[in-house]
Chains A and B, each alone.
Chain A
Amino acid sequence: MRKILVALLALSLVLLAACSSNSKKPDDTTPPKTDTPAPAPAPAQKITLALSGEPATLDPHKSFNGNVFTVTNQIYESLLSRNPDGTLSGRLATEYKSVNPTTWELKLRQNVKFSDGTPFNAAAVKFSLERLKDPATKAPGGYIVTMIKEIKVVDDHTVQLITDKPFAPLPAHLSHPVAAMVSPEGAKKDLGKEPIGTGPFTLKEWKAGESVTLVANPNYWGGKPKLDTVLVRVIPEAGTQITELKAGTVDFVNGVQAEKWAELSADKKFAVTRFPGWGSYYIGFNMKQGPLAKLEVRQAIAKALDRKAMVETLRMGMAMEAAAPIPKTVFGSSMKLAPIAYNVAEAKELMKKAGVTTPLKIKLHTYEGAENKQIAGAIQAQLKEIGIDLEIQVTDFGAYSTETAKPDHGMFLTSWGTVTMDADYAFYAWYHSGQHAADNKAFYADPEVDKWLDEGRSNPDQAARLAAYEKIQQRVNEQLPYLTLYWPLSSYAKNARLQGEVYPFALINLDLRKAEVK
Chain B
Amino acid sequence: MLRYTAKRLVLMVPVLLGVTLLVFLIFYLTPGDPARVVLGDMGQGATPEAIEQLRHQLGLDQPWYMQYANFVRKAAMGDFGRSFRGDRPVLPEILVRFPVTLRLTLISLTFAAVIGIPLGVVAAVKQRTWVDNVLMVLALLGVSVPSFWIGIMLMQLFALKFKVLPPSGTGTWQHMVMPSITVAMASVAFIARMTRSSMLDQLREDYVRTARSKGVDERRTIFKHALKNAAIPVLTTVGLQFGSLLGGAVVVESVFSLPGLGRLTIEAIKGRDLPAIQGAVLWVALIFSLVNLAVDLGYAALDPRIRYD
Q: Is A56 an interface residue (CB 8 A)?
A: yes
Scoring B residues 195 to 236 as 1 if CB is less than 8 Å from chain A, else 0, what string do you get? 000000000000000000000000000011001100100000
A356 CA to B142 CA in the complex, in Å? 54
Shortest Cβ distance from A54 into B: residue: B267
Chief secondary structure at chain B's binding surface:
helix
What is the CB-to-nearest-CB distance from B159 to chain A, in angstroms, rounded to a whole number?
A: 5
Q: Is A59 an interface residue (CB 8 A)?
A: yes
Could you say which residues of chain A place their CB within 8 Å of the CB of B36?
A: 397-398, 401-402
A146 CA to B88 CA in the complex, in Å? 24
Provided the pairs A138-B58, A243-B155 are in contact, do residues A208 and B259 lie with their beta carbons within 8 angstroms? yes
Scoring B residues 123 to 153 as 1 if CB is less than 8 Å from chain A, else 0, what string do you get? 0000000000000000000000000000010
Could you say which residues of chain A place their CB within 8 Å of the CB of B31?
A: 395, 398-399, 402-403
Q: Are A240 and B255 in contact (CB under 8 A)?
A: yes
Which A residues from 20 to 53 make CB contacts under 8 A with B?
20, 23-24, 27, 29-31, 34, 53
Q: Are B167 and A1 in contact (CB under 8 A)?
A: no
Q: Which of B155, B227, B259, B272 meets A1, CB within 8 Å? A: B227
A465 CA to B37 CA in the complex, in Å? 32
Q: Is B304 an interface residue (CB 8 A)?
A: no
Scoring B residues 239 to 258 as 1 if CB is less than 8 Å from chain A, else 0, what string do you get? 00000000000000011110
Q: Are A64 and B32 in contact (CB under 8 A)?
A: no
Q: Are B113 and A8 in contact (CB under 8 A)?
A: yes
What is the CB-to-nearest-CB distance from B211 to chain A, in angstroms, rounded to a whole number?
A: 15
Provided the pairs A16-B176, A23-B171, A234-B257 are in contact, do residues A438 and B46 lie with their beta carbons within 8 angstroms? yes
Q: Are A12 and B168 in contact (CB under 8 A)?
A: no
Provided the pairs A16-B107, A398-B36 are in contact, do residues A429 and B167 lie with their beta carbons within 8 angstroms? no
Provided the pairs A15-B103, A34-B163 are in contact, do residues A141 and B44 lie with their beta carbons within 8 angstroms? no
Partner-contacting stretch, out of B17-25, B63-71, B79-87: B79-87
Q: Are B32 and A399 in contact (CB under 8 A)?
A: yes
Q: Are A31 and B165 in contact (CB under 8 A)?
A: yes
Shortest Cβ distance from B165 into A: residue: A31
A416 CA to B46 CA in the complex, in Å? 12
Which B residues from 157 to 191 make CB contacts under 8 A with A?
159-160, 163-176
Q: Is B38 an interface residue (CB 8 A)?
A: yes
Provided the pairs A29-B171, A135-B53, A438-B51 are in contact, do residues A401 and B165 lie with their beta carbons within 8 angstroms? no
What is the CB-to-nearest-CB distance from A287 to chain B, in angstroms, rounded to a whole number?
A: 18
Could you say which residues of chain B place their CB within 8 Å of the CB of A57?
A: 85-88
What is the CB-to-nearest-CB distance from A195 to chain B, in angstroms, rounded to a whole number?
A: 12
Shortest Cβ distance from A396 into B: residue: B270
Q: Are B166 and A236 in contact (CB under 8 A)?
A: no
Partner-contacting stretch, out of A104-112, A244-252, A327-335: A244-252
Q: Is A360 an interface residue (CB 8 A)?
A: no
Q: Are A398 and B88 in contact (CB under 8 A)?
A: no
Could you say which residues of chain B place their CB within 8 Å of the CB of A336?
A: none
Could you say which residues of chain A place their CB within 8 Å of the CB of B163?
A: 31, 34, 247
Could you say which residues of chain B place their CB within 8 Å of the CB of A208?
A: 93, 96-97, 259
Q: Are A419 and B42 in contact (CB under 8 A)?
A: yes
Could you say which residues of chain A place their CB within 8 Å of the CB of B41?
A: 397, 414-417
A226 CA to B256 CA in the complex, in Å? 31
Provided the pairs A27-B171, A63-B86, A396-B270 are in contact, do residues A236 and B39 lie with their beta carbons within 8 angstroms? no
Which B residues from 93 to 113 make CB contacts under 8 A with A?
93, 96-97, 100, 103, 106-107, 110-111, 113
Q: Are A30 and B86 in contact (CB under 8 A)?
A: no
Shortest Cβ distance from A55 into B: residue: B86
Q: Is A391 an interface residue (CB 8 A)?
A: no
A43 CA to B254 CA in the complex, in Å? 31
What is the CB-to-nearest-CB distance from B160 to chain A, in angstroms, rounded to a whole number?
A: 6
Q: Is B30 an interface residue (CB 8 A)?
A: yes
A23 CA to B169 CA in the complex, in Å? 13
A434 CA to B48 CA in the complex, in Å? 8
Could you say which residues of chain B place their CB within 8 Å of the CB of A19?
A: 103, 107, 173, 176
Q: Which of B160, B224, B259 meets A243, CB within 8 Å? A: B160
A210 CA to B33 CA in the complex, in Å? 28
A286 CA to B105 CA in the complex, in Å? 49
Could you say which residues of chain A place their CB within 8 Å of the CB of B93?
A: 208
Could you say which residues of chain A place their CB within 8 Å of the CB of B38?
A: 63-64, 140
Could you say which residues of chain A place their CB within 8 Å of the CB of B193?
A: none
Q: Are A233 and B257 in contact (CB under 8 A)?
A: yes
Q: Is A380 an interface residue (CB 8 A)?
A: no
Could you say which residues of chain B place their CB within 8 Å of the CB of A146?
A: 47, 49-50
Q: Are B169 and A233 in contact (CB under 8 A)?
A: yes
Q: Are B160 and A438 in contact (CB under 8 A)?
A: no
Q: Are B32 and A247 in contact (CB under 8 A)?
A: no
Q: Are A15 and B50 in contact (CB under 8 A)?
A: no
A141 CA to B139 CA in the complex, in Å? 52
Could you say which residues of chain B place their CB within 8 Å of the CB of A54?
A: 259, 267
A438 CA to B155 CA in the complex, in Å? 43
Which A residues from 412 to 465 make CB contacts under 8 A with B?
414-419, 425-426, 428-429, 434-439
What is the CB-to-nearest-CB distance from B10 to chain A, in angstroms, rounded to a whole number?
A: 31
Q: Is B5 an interface residue (CB 8 A)?
A: no
Q: Is A2 an interface residue (CB 8 A)?
A: yes
A208 CA to B94 CA in the complex, in Å? 10
Provided the pairs A135-B53, A146-B50 are in contact, do residues A15 and B107 lie with their beta carbons within 8 angstroms? yes
Q: Is A312 an interface residue (CB 8 A)?
A: no
Could you say which residues of chain A place their CB within 8 Å of the CB of B255?
A: 237, 239-240
Shortest Cβ distance from A399 into B: residue: B31
What is the CB-to-nearest-CB distance from B78 to chain A, in angstroms, rounded to a whole number?
A: 19
Provided the pairs A63-B85, A396-B270 are in contact, do residues A244 and B96 lie with their beta carbons within 8 angstroms? no
Q: Are A12 and B111 in contact (CB under 8 A)?
A: yes
Could you say which residues of chain A place their CB within 8 Å of the CB of B254?
A: 236-237
Q: Is B91 an interface residue (CB 8 A)?
A: no
**Complex A-B: 21 CB contacts under 8 Å:** A1-B231, A12-B106, A20-B173, A54-B267, A59-B87, A64-B42, A64-B43, A138-B54, A140-B39, A146-B50, A235-B168, A246-B160, A247-B163, A398-B36, A398-B270, A398-B272, A414-B44, A417-B44, A428-B45, A435-B47, A437-B48
Question: Which A residues contact B (CB, under 8 angstroms)?
Answer: 1-2, 5, 8-9, 11-12, 15-17, 19-20, 23-24, 27, 29-31, 34, 53-57, 59, 62-66, 68, 135, 138, 140-143, 146, 192-193, 207-211, 233-237, 239-240, 243-244, 246-247, 249, 395-399, 401-403, 405, 414-419, 425-426, 428-429, 434-439
Q: Known contacts A143-B46, A403-B31; can you find 10 more A-B pairs with CB under 8 A? A: A1-B227, A16-B173, A31-B159, A34-B163, A62-B86, A138-B54, A138-B58, A140-B35, A143-B50, A438-B48
Q: Which 5 A-B pairs have the closest CB atoms?
A: A398-B32, A209-B259, A56-B86, A57-B86, A20-B173
